[in-house]
Amino acid sequence: MVNVGVMVGSAIFLTAGDVARALPHPLAQLGMWVVAAVFSLAGALTIAELGAAMPQAGGLTVYLGEAFGKFWGFLYGWSLFTVIQTAAIAAVAVAFATYASHFLPLSPLGVQLLAAAVVALLTAINALGVREGVLTQNVFTVAKLAAMLGLVALALAGALFGDSFAGSAERSTASWANLTEAPPGAASFTWVALGAAALGPLFAFDGWITTSYLGGEVKRPARTLPLAALASVAVVAVLYVAVNGAYLLVLGSAEVARAPRTAARTAEVLLGPRGADLAALLVVVATFGALNGNILAGARVLYALAQEGLFWRRVARVHPRFGTPAAALAAQGLVSAALVFTGRFDQLLASCLFASWLFYALGGIAVFVLRRRSRIPPATSPAPATGSTSDRPYRVWGYPVVPALFIAFALALLAATVAAAPRDAAVGLFLLLTGVPAYFLFKRSTPAP
């Protein structure tokens, strides 16, 4: 539920048009979502091997530190704190408040205040206990899955029953032919077009790594983490293909490419003016759940850094009553709320997006490094019961092909991102490198053991 809730945020409602403009054929558009699912699953299963072997809070911070040294683990955690995780929280909070303004008369400042307030509310809920945070996540994840599946069901009803479908405001537009026919004058595919079309779906799937941040609080992590990775990506893949199929059934590829808010336009065609209300409510529910998942998981990384003496010491404190990293949650919440009011969080997030894939690639390489260093026995041999980092209670399926393909894909996407936006990449690199002096500052302040 945490992985699904984080993945299913605002991207599924915003990126369909980008894919349609890059790849005009509807089947190619659906295929791109499948491709994104395959590579996201490869990454999730690869990182799950590390999570099962090292079930600690912090995710890649722990894994990269073990494979390459504490500096690399710190650099990942620092990048999450300075922009990646906090800007994602700010961006999703503003998306929530913006769509909530469909129902409430809010000024631009009012949107920012509501966004900061919902960050504070969910930070407080997650500080009250893991169970409270996960319960909130589960409720809103189920709600948004139900709403999105309802939209899919309406689209299927419109295509199956046509004019006899009483709920359809523009009945004749829902057609099975929309799934197979490209718009007139559609251009042939190019590698550039394929790369451009992949960015939106991959961004929509981003979040598959989230449960690795919670390793220290997951029951039976050797079994749970890989199953969570497989199940969450599979659920989201089916959902994303179904929702994009609904867009295409109702609107057709040409209108999907033109519509600025694809989900709203689809709901409007199916339900009339009330469809806009439904779409706004759907995005509110989806972004609220995604926001909670990001807050729940991200603080665990800061907590792990502080435990290593590589962050402010107070952040390593666990609340004496609730047993949660309340100080880490508060630090994350303060930075996220501040980014809401800067109005620059979206640009910062775009600038550092490439950094996420850099660390994902390093995580894949860490699997090879730690296996070689630990001399892991064959999969048929029983795993040792020592609890050390050399244990592999779960081994990624298809090794070494699956992790190698994931690493190659991550590096290719990284190169494409840098080539397409060198200025944003340079800004992101600068923000990333601020972690270098920060690392030595925290290291100097940590007493020797």
Structure token digits, residue 271? 């339900």
- Would you state the pLDDT for residue 381? 37
pLDDT of residue 186: 58
For residue 213, what is the DSSP state?
G
Q: Are 181 and 25 in contact (CB under 8 A)?
A: no
17-67: per-residue pLDDT in tens?
888 888 888 888 899 999 989 988 888 888 888 887 887 767 788 889 889
What CATH number does the domain located at 2-445 have?
A: 1.20.1740.10
pLDDT along the chain (449 residues), means of 10: 79 82 86 90 87 77 89 90 85 85 87 93 86 75 82 81 53 65 64 72 81 70 80 91 90 83 82 80 85 83 82 80 84 91 68 80 93 57 40 78 91 76 78 89 69
Where are the chain's structural domains? Answer: 2-445
pLDDT of residue 185: 58
Q: Which amino acid is at 80?
A: L
What are the tokens at 342? 């800067």
In the numeric block, which tokens belong to residue 242?
């179904």
- pLDDT of res. 296: 82
- The per-residue pLDDT for range 136-175, each reduced to its tens digit, is 777 877 887 888 888 888 888 877 766 555 454 444 456 7
CA distance 295 to 350: 19
Q: What is the DSSP string of 291-329?
A: HHHHHHHHHHHHHHHHHTTSS-GGGGPPPTTT-S-HHHH
**Confidence (pTM):** 0.79
At 57 the pLDDT is 65
CB atoms within 10 A of CB 430: 11
